[in-house]
Amino acid sequence: MSERSLFNILCKLLGMWMTFEGISSLVWAFLASRYSDQIHFDPPEMASWFSGAVTIAFGLFLCTRSSRLTQFLFELDGSLDSQEKFDSES
């Protein structure tokens, strides 16, 4: 397996994990908004809504665009992709 495929898989796994964390944060924010008068939640539910939405958005971005992100990052570092041998004579 090459570095590109490993990085692509890592991006997809990280994206899925972030999406799962964001969904659980949104569920927690929903429960906090329903029961805020009975139980004190920390952080406030508004922060949980926002952080959950941002985490889901970034996780979905990583899942869907991991191949393009991999291509972009590996184009920046062309020295890893070159297979040329250096001449000691020149």
* 64 confidence band (pLDDT: 50, 70, 90): very high
pLDDT at 88 over 80: no
Give 8-62 pLDDT, tens digit per residue: 999 999 999 999 999 998 888 888 777 766 666 566 666 778 889 999 999 999 9
Q: Which residues of 34-67 are buried (b: 16+ CB within 10 A; e: fewer)?
A: eeeeeeeeeeebeebbebbeebbeebeebbeebe
- pLDDT score, position 55: 95
| pTM of the predicted protein model | 0.72
- pLDDT score, position 32: 78
